[in-house]
Amino acid sequence: MAHEKYQDLIETLHECMTECNHCYTACFQEEDVKMMADCIQLDRECADICAYFEQALSRDTPFVSELASVCAKICEACGNECKKHEHDHCQRCAEACFKCAEACKTVA
Amino acid sequence: MAHEKYQDLIETLHECMTECNHCYTACFQEEDVKMMADCIQLDRECADICAYFEQALSRDTPFVSELASVCAKICEACGNECKKHEHDHCQRCAEACFKCAEACKTVA
Amino acid sequence: MAHEKYQDLIETLHECMTECNHCYTACFQEEDVKMMADCIQLDRECADICAYFEQALSRDTPFVSELASVCAKICEACGNECKKHEHDHCQRCAEACFKCAEACKTVA
Amino acid sequence: MAHEKYQDLIETLHECMTECNHCYTACFQEEDVKMMADCIQLDRECADICAYFEQALSRDTPFVSELASVCAKICEACGNECKKHEHDHCQRCAEACFKCAEACKTVA
């Protein structure tokens, strides 16, 4: 079944979702929150689409390639913003986002 | 702001989400539930993506066209399945899905 | 069916979700974003639970009172934070949150 | 941070979400889908609340006990329905639901 075929992708999406949400929360603890505004908002966008796609895969959605395509795009945008910031949580998040974007592209 | 620009689309997505969920629930009351299996599953897919896109628009997501494109595709698939069935809830749902698909395409 | 019985509540939840997301986005445009950190995070919490409960009601969830209870609590917390801030978007959001909390309590 | 404290719970919720969605999909393949109607609908309820709570924990939600309480209740209801059916997917799902309900109760 599809959810077995996509087991690795489900885990990659899950990791990206958690890293994005960790980064989201940690950004509010930084000195200059205004500077993190784009990062915070993209973290939410990315966490939400990863959580959505993860669930969709686990119920064998027929729309794998369409969702993978939009998810890859959002992961890349979030990764590009995160990598601008030197905070550990941003760098870890960027890494998770780029890994997830690549994984999504292979099924898009 | 974007969420004002997209006020009509947000309402159309909201209506489609509720019709899909009504159809979903009503399908389980039908005599032959097995015959409604595809309809039930597409109702869930469509309700979920409409609910997702509705929220994304209301927070001014930067990914309007990408999400609109995948939402249009899922709405069309759900509408095409629903229109095969003569039940009132299926016909109403098909109508809401096709209306929503058109609205999504104008911003995709 | 339940989704007809709860039509008004579904609309109230929908309005609260959109106001929370508008407030969320608008907070990032304010001069002092750090001062809005709690407001932003509670806006997301509240938008998400309202969106969740709205969908659950539209599919006739058997867990109306449990979800209404947690939703009321989150709406109140968000409203209490928002009302501290003089920005129009915060005041409008607080109003929507308190209205939604009351509506949830009547079915909790 | 909370998301580290709750790492085990996040994984338990994730497993329960995927088992519920697997059971959901598999139920539609059974001979008598009508008999699985309650199971299918509770699978969706349970998958959705587990996915929701999982995300909320990963962003350090202040509403852990309230969400844990409602999640425990929904997991138990889904587990009780699933355990009535002899299909492997139902039995595995029941097990995941009861495990998750217990884990939720410890933080409720």
Mark which residues 38-57 of D lie under 8 Å from C by CB.
41, 44-45, 48, 52, 55-56
| Cβ atoms within 10 Å, residue C99 | 16
With 70 as the cut, is the pLDDT of residue C1 above it? no
pLDDT value at position C101? 98
Distance, in Å, from the CA atom of D32 to the CA atom of D35, rounded to the nearest integer, reads 6
pLDDT digits (tens, 9 = 90+) for C37-77: 999 999 999 999 999 999 999 999 999 999 999 999 999 99
DSSP C34: G
Q: Residue D36: which pLDDT band, with cuts at 50, 70 and 90? A: very high
Residues of B in contact with C48 (CB under 8 A): 55
Distance, in Å, from the CA atom of C54 to the CA atom of C48, rounded to the nearest integer, reads 10
pLDDT value at position B2? 61
pLDDT digits (tens, 9 = 90+) for A9-34: 999 999 999 999 999 999 999 999 99
Distance, in Å, from the CA atom of B19 to the CA atom of A76, rounded to the nearest integer, reads 34
pLDDT value at position C3? 66
- CATH code, domain with B8: 1.20.1270.360
Burial, A104: exposed, middle or buried (Cβ in 10 Å; 0-12, 13-18, 19+)? buried
What ipTM goes with this model? 0.95
With 70 as the cut, is the pLDDT of residue D2 above it? no
**What residue ranges of chain B have pLDDT lower than 70?**
1-3
Q: Range of A94's domain?
A: 2-107
Distance, in Å, from the CA atom of A13 to the CA atom of A30, rounded to the nearest integer, reads 26
Start-to-end C-alpha separation, chain B: 18
pLDDT value at position C4? 75
With 90 as the cut, is the pLDDT of residue A4 above it? no
With 70 as the cut, is the pLDDT of residue A2 above it? no
How many structural domains compose chain A? 1
Residues of D in contact with C77 (CB under 8 A): 62-63
Best mutation target among B16, B25, B41 (most C Cβ atoms within 10 Å) is B25
Residue ranges of alpha helices (H) inside B28-108 are: 37-58, 64-82, 88-107
Query: For A60, left (φ over 0), alpha (ψ -120 to 50), or beta?
Result: left
